[in-house]
């Protein structure tokens, strides 16, 4: 009698596949570190541009370096007219992450450095990608809503300029600050699914755009960057605070998941959630509409309690839980939350791609190639005997 093999589905949990100097997630302690700095210490004190510089060049910039870097980024915000035309020809109901992923491949075709394999060429591609992501996302939102495009303003920060291109108005300082903090907190998170996807593609020596396109695809999934959109959809579906208890019990009883709770690495609250939650509260107060923050808070508490009762262990909030209501308060369309995540995370992806391409384990980083465990059938003792199609 043939022995039944155990089916594997490890999700690569607990398997270390490469060394990195970019960031660290300490799941037990609830710590996120960007190149030695706690992300929570950076949030609110440095701009997204400074964090991008830190991720790419391994140090925080001084004033002159930041000024120069800011101007490099500002000059690269425009996107090719051919891409604008392609977006204008896209169906208005196309998923924004699909539009973003397609846009990455299109801008690759117009990048003068695409065949350049030097670090300098890769740095320029990295800057172009980071600079163009906000323009692609904002333009797509305006195109699909039949609104005239708002050209990038080179004097504004990435955060202020994105909101300006999206809404046609320069945001005030508070709004800019909150959005900038969101970008800082979403910039990097070690070997999460999309960064792993980007690094895996980079390990084949494919170019940066191919690797970033893979990152966008991975981030779009509901269990990854797609979760923030699902959190807001869940809040809208529940509708009011008095319905949360029933919703939570029902979802757990039917084997569903409460979006924004749980994490593959953190065994404590995600440290980013503790910064995002007060910002969501403050935005709710500022708009005189505390409902979405209050519902989130109640859902967090009731979800944690019900989960503990059902599974006998704790569950924690992740980054997507409070960013959802915060982006909603900012007037960002619910299906743009994941592209907004991508605007920040592209910085982490390109830092990892650069590390994979230029600073990995000597002499050259290995091509990623894991093993699988074949549990399929053999007709014969070792393999199936081939039978021509007419005789099957």
Just list the catalytic residues: 224, 263, 320
Contacts with ligand COA by CB under 6 A: the residue count is 14
Report, in Å, the least distance between residue 272 CB and ligand COA: 10
348 is an interface residue for ligand COA by CB under 6 A = no
Nearer to ligand COA, 25 or 159 (CB): 25
- Strand-by-strand arrangement of the 23-26 sheet: 23-26, 31-34, 37-38
Residue with smallest beta-carbon separation from ligand COA? 262
Report, in Å, the least distance between residue 307 CB and ligand COA: 6
Query: What are residue 34's phi and psi, to 5 degrees?
Result: -105, 110
Place of tokens 């270390």: 16
Which stretch of DSSP H or E encloses residue 244? helix 244-253
CA dist 345 and 327 (Å) reads: 16
User: By C-alpha distance, which of 345, 353, 59, 351 is closest to 182?
Assistant: 345
Nearer to ligand COA, 141 or 188 (CB): 188
Handedness of CA 275, 153, 128, 324 (dihedral sign): positive
H helix runs in 110-226, sequence order? 119-144, 158-167, 173-186, 193-203, 208-219
Report, in Å, the least distance between residue 133 CB and ligand COA: 20
Report, in Å, the least distance between residue 233 CB and ligand COA: 12
Which stretch of DSSP H or E encloses residue 280? helix 273-287
Nearer to ligand COA, 312 or 380 (CB): 312
Nearer to ligand COA, 11 or 91 (CB): 11
* Whether the Cβ atoms of residue 142 and residue 304 lie closer than 8 Å to each other: no
194 is an interface residue for ligand COA by CB under 6 A = no
Partners of residue 42 on adjacent β-strands = none
Binding mask 269-288 for ligand COA (x = CB under 6 A): --------------------
CB-CB neighbours of 170 under 10 Å: 14
Nearer to ligand COA, 338 or 357 (CB): 338
Nearer to ligand COA, 261 or 276 (CB): 261
Neighbouring C-alpha atoms within 13 Å toward the C-beta of 360? 20
Nearer to ligand COA, 111 or 320 (CB): 320
Q: What is the DSSP letter of 6?
A: P
Report, in Å, the least distance between residue 273 CB and ligand COA: 10
Binding mask 291-330 for ligand COA (x = CB under 6 A): ------------------------x--xxx----------
The DSSP code sequence of 317-358 is B-HHHHHHHHHHHTT--GGGHHHHHHHHHHHHHHHHHHHHHH
Separation in Å, CA 249 to CA 74, 129, 293: 49, 43, 20
* Whether the Cβ atoms of residue 22 and residue 355 lie closer than 8 Å to each other: yes
Report, in Å, the least distance between residue 276 CB and ligand COA: 12
Nearer to ligand COA, 258 or 336 (CB): 258
Span 200-229, contacts to ligand COA by CB under 6 A: 223, 227
Binding mask 228-267 for ligand COA (x = CB under 6 A): -----------------------------xxxxxxxx---
Give the SS3 label for residue 296: helix
Report, in Å, the least distance between residue 368 CB and ligand COA: 21
Report, in Å, the least distance between residue 322 CB and ligand COA: 12
* Whether the Cβ atoms of residue 100 and residue 140 lie closer than 8 Å to each other: yes
CA dist 98 and 104 (Å) reads: 10
Place of tokens 């191919």: 210
- The residues binding ligand COA (CB under 6 A) are 223, 227, 257-264, 315, 318-320
């Amino acid at each position: 009698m043939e022995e039944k093999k155990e089916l594997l589905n490890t999700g690569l949990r607990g398997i270390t596949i490469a060394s990195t100097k970019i960031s660290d997630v300490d799941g037990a302690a609830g710590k996120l570190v960007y190149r030695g700095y706690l992300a929570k210490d950076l949030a609110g004190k440095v701009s997204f541009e400074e964090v991008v510089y830190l991720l790419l060049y391994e140090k925080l910039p001084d004033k002159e370096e930041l000024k120069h870097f800011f101007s490099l980024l500002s000059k690269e915000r425009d996107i090719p007219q051919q891409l604008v035309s392609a977006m204008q020809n896209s169906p208005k109901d196309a998923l924004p992450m699909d539009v973003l992923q397609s846009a990455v491949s299109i801008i690759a075709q117009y990048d003068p450095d695409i065949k350049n394999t030097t670090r300098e060429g890769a740095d320029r591609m990295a800057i172009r990608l980071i600079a163009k992501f906000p323009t692609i996302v904002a333009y797509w939102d305006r195109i699909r809503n039949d609104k005239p495009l708002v050209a990038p303003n080179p004097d504004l920060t990435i955060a202020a300029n994105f909101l300006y291109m999206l809404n046609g108005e320069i945001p005030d300082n508070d709004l800019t600050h909150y959005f900038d903090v969101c970008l800082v907190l979403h910039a990097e998170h070690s070997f999460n699914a999309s960064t792993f996807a980007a690094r895996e593609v980079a390990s084949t020596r494919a170019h940066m755009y191919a690797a970033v396109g893979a990152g966008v695809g991975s981030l779009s999934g509901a269990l990854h960057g797609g979760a923030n959109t699902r959190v807001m959809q869940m809040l809208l579906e529940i509708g009011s605070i008095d319905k949360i208890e029933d919703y939570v019990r029902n979802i757990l009883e039917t084997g569903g998941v409460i979006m924004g709770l749980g994490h593959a690495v953190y065994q404590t609250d995600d440290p980013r959630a503790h910064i995002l939650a007060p910002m969501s509260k403050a935005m709710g107060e500022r708009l005189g509409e505390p409902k979405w923050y209050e519902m989130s808070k109640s859902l967090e508490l009731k979800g944690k309690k019900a989960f503990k009762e059902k599974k006998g262990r704790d569950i924690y909030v992740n980054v997507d839980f409070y960013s959802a209501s915060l982006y909603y308060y900012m007037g960002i369309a619910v299906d743009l939350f994941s592209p907004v995540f991508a605007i920040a995370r592209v910085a982490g992806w390109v830092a990892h791609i650069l590390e994979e391409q230029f600073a990995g384990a000597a002499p050259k980083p290995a091509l990623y190639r894991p093993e699988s465990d074949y549990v399929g059938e053999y007709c014969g003792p070792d393999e199936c005997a081939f039978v021509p199609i007419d005789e099957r």
